[in-house]
Amino acid sequence: MTVRSFLLHSAIIVGMAACSSAKKEKEEAPAPPESLPMEVLSLDNLDAFAAPDNNWQLAGNVYVNRQQPQQMEVKEGKGILAFATAKGNSTLRTKMEHGDIDLELDFMLSGQAGATLLFQGKYPLQLKDSWLKDSVTVDDCGAVEGKAPLLNACKAPGLWQHLEVKFRTARSGYSATGTTEAGFERVVLNGRTIQQEPSLDSITTDTLLKQVQTGPLGFLVKNGPVAFRNIRYKTYNDKRAALTNLQYHVYKGVYKNHDTIKLLMPVRSGQTDSLTYRVGDKRAQLLLEGKLQLPVQGEYVFSIRAGGPIRLMIDGKEIANNGGTRDYQRAFYGDTVLTAGPHDFQLSYANYDECMVLLYEGPHIPFTALTTPASERLVEPSPSMEYVLKGEPAIQRSFIEHRGKVDAYSMSVGAPVGINYAYDMVTYSPLLAWHGRYIDVAEMWHERGEQQLARPLGATLDLAGIPCIAELSSVKAPWPDSMRVDSSDYTNRGYMLRSDGLPMFFYTLHQWKVEDYLHPRQDGKGLQRDVTVTSNGAKDKAYWLLASGGIIEKLADGSYAVDDKNYYIETAVKPEIVEDDGQYRLVLPLETGNKTTDIHYSIIW
């Protein structure tokens, strides 16, 4: 090899390596955040609270026996705020004061317990053991002053429940009447919206000054024990960004490569006082540029949605780009750190479908639109089409959402007693379970029914949705987390309806024959699962998976708290708790040879 060819060969290798490295770096680049992080209320000690009394303590773990009302066991440690006594009452207030606030936390109630969150120390949101109540009132969990929750989304005593609240404070001098009332813009309990924009009586008296009311977050307990953890929040003020010196340029044609317009002359230009696609033309490229005036320094997150290619540039740097899609319902994000004051702003949009939305979030600034409301293309919501159970069970094949993805092989099963579940017909495992009403089928039937989604009408319990039987070398071997439709080891043998109208599923894994029947418990407190596994001469070891997820604990009453006290498994069999890289499994070995293993357990939430 000559020196020249050697150098050329080396350059090609180096170039290929550099391209490969750049490609790998691009593939591994983390996705931009979709929101700024929340502040954490530290529970390493009680320093975040004003004058806590002796009824409050920190804990590393707590346990509630759901069969015993008003009882809680506390394990020493930190990270959990506990009021562990059934007697007395107490109000604990934060040193932090807030006006507008987004709040998230987990709470746990003992049987018959109740507490109240006091926003600004005076606006109450009720937390109460309302588990399994058919209808809820102003005295139940999630109620605010004079307004009952929209539905009962409560879990059983002793389980952690997740709460999300958007609270907006009263303001004076902002309206013709002099005040605006405080209110809960949204309350979400265990994934379901239970309050939507109920206003509260305003206690504001100053009608002259534009001032925001503030006050502490209070934890009021009249009927314990209760516990809280993972308390996070964002507080907001009234400072906002502004666009100035805004100009528009309209170009003939639409381009995915936004730099193409640098080679073109605009067909027209002008000034505008609002950020909207309406200053442009259909099937034309629009460039909007000016100054973005920011009130404070810090990290900012931007969100864009558009019916066509769109790109946001700030100070000559690309912040967000939708890659040219025309999916105007899908948001794309970008984040950057910016100083207070003016910044060069540029938004380029190829107008295919007349939708252009730009939002931003900043330090103590909630997500706010920079574009006008008229610049958004609204999607008409599907009407509600509830599948009402009329005294007998129902089965509906459809798609269903599970852990952020659409499962195309699901079956929704509903029982008139208000215990429902969704089952995957490829992995042969339950995906979801929920109490209350059955499903909304509007997205299966309205217009073209393109999404084919059935939506549960209760607060759903997400289950693992992975295969429940596996042949493994040992109980600690990795468990299969999925099953491909085109290369499944399972053989589908269908299902039959039992005398109660509910399905029993049949399938095989190699020589293992499985019969799987899920039905409501007699007491209505959860799902009973009855499984029969016949080995048919199988010699390899096989195991049954009762549950998997985060931490699994065996409780004093013999049941198991699964996925960090997300739900209970109650069983007479003796499964083993297996830990694998931070995840836990509840596993039972199966009989080999020509034997039958009967497995009975309940899922309670």
Confidence of residue 3 (pLDDT cuts 50, 70, 90): very low
> Residue 175 pLDDT > 60, yes or no?
no
DSSP bridge pairs for 251 = 285
The whole-angstrom separation of Cα 110 and Cα 533 is 37
> Residue 205 pLDDT > 90, yes or no?
no
For residue 518, the one-letter residue type is L
- For residue range 254-281, list pLDDT tens digits in order: 999 999 999 999 999 999 999 999 999 9
Q: What is the pLDDT of residue 601?
A: 98
Tell me the torsion sign for CA atoms 73, 74, 80, 83.
Answer: positive
The whole-angstrom separation of Cα 244 and Cα 73 is 59
> Residue 518 pLDDT > 80, yes or no?
yes
The whole-angstrom separation of Cα 516 and Cα 514 is 6
Q: What is the pLDDT of residue 177?
A: 53
Q: Determine whether domain 39-236 maps to CATH 3.40.720.10.
A: no
Question: If you average pLDDT over every residue of the chain, what do you get?
Answer: 92
- Contacts of residue 81, defined as CB under 8 A and 6 or more positions apart, other chains included, come to 43, 56, 58, 59, 92, 219, 227, 228, 229, 231
The whole-angstrom separation of Cα 213 and Cα 168 is 10
Domain ranges, ordered by start, for the chain = 39-236, 242-375, 386-604
DSSP state of 64: -
DSSP bridge pairs for 226 = 83, 109
Across 58-72, 381-395, 452-466, 473-487, least confident range: 473-487
Confidence of residue 147 (pLDDT cuts 50, 70, 90): very high
Q: What is the pLDDT of residue 201?
A: 62
Q: What is the pLDDT of residue 527?
A: 98
DSSP state of 356: E
Q: Which residue shows structure tokens 């798609």?
A: 399
Of the chain, the percentage scoring pLDDT greater than 90 comes to 84
- Do 39-236 and 242-375 agree at the fold level? yes
> Residue 116 pLDDT > 50, yes or no?
yes
The whole-angstrom separation of Cα 196 and Cα 186 is 5
- For residue range 63-80, list pLDDT tens digits in order: 999 999 999 999 999 999
Q: What is the pLDDT of residue 130?
A: 97
- Count other C-beta atoms under 10 Å from residue 339's C-beta: 11
Q: What is the pLDDT of residue 6?
A: 42
- For residue range 293-315, list pLDDT tens digits in order: 999 999 999 999 999 999 999 99
> Residue 580 pLDDT > 60, yes or no?
yes
- For residue range 568-578, list pLDDT tens digits in order: 999 999 999 99
Q: Structure pTM?
A: 0.91
- The three-state secondary structure class of 241 is coil
Confidence of residue 8 (pLDDT cuts 50, 70, 90): very low
> Residue 202 pLDDT > 60, yes or no?
no
Helix (H), strand (E), coil (C) string for 284-341 = EEEEEEEEEEECCCEEEEEEEEECCCEEEEECCEEEEECCCCCCCCCCEEEEEEECCE
Would you say 63 and 111 are in contact if contact means Cβ atoms under 8 Å apart? no
The total number of residues shown for the chain amounts to 605
> Residue 185 pLDDT > 70, yes or no?
yes
DSSP 164-209: EEEEE--EESSSTTSEE--EEEEEEETTEEEEES-B--------SS
Q: Which among 340, 292, 300 is positioned nearest to 316, based on CA atoms?
A: 292
Range 408-423 burial, b when 16+ CB lie within 10 A, else e: ebbbbbbbeebbbbbb
> Residue 93 pLDDT > 90, yes or no?
yes
- For residue range 401-456, list pLDDT tens digits in order: 999 999 999 999 999 999 999 999 999 999 999 999 999 999 999 888 889 999 99
Q: What is the pLDDT of residue 510?
A: 93
Extract the tokens encoding 580.
């694998």
Q: Taking the CA of residue 347 as centre, how many other CA atoms within 13 Å lie in the half-sphere pointing to its CB? A: 27
Q: Which tops the pLDDT comparison, 375 or 9? A: 375
CATH number of this structure's domain 242-375: 2.60.120.260
Q: What is the pLDDT of residue 487?
A: 73
- Contacts of residue 423, defined as CB under 8 A and 6 or more positions apart, other chains included, come to 410, 411, 412, 413, 429, 430, 431, 503, 505, 518
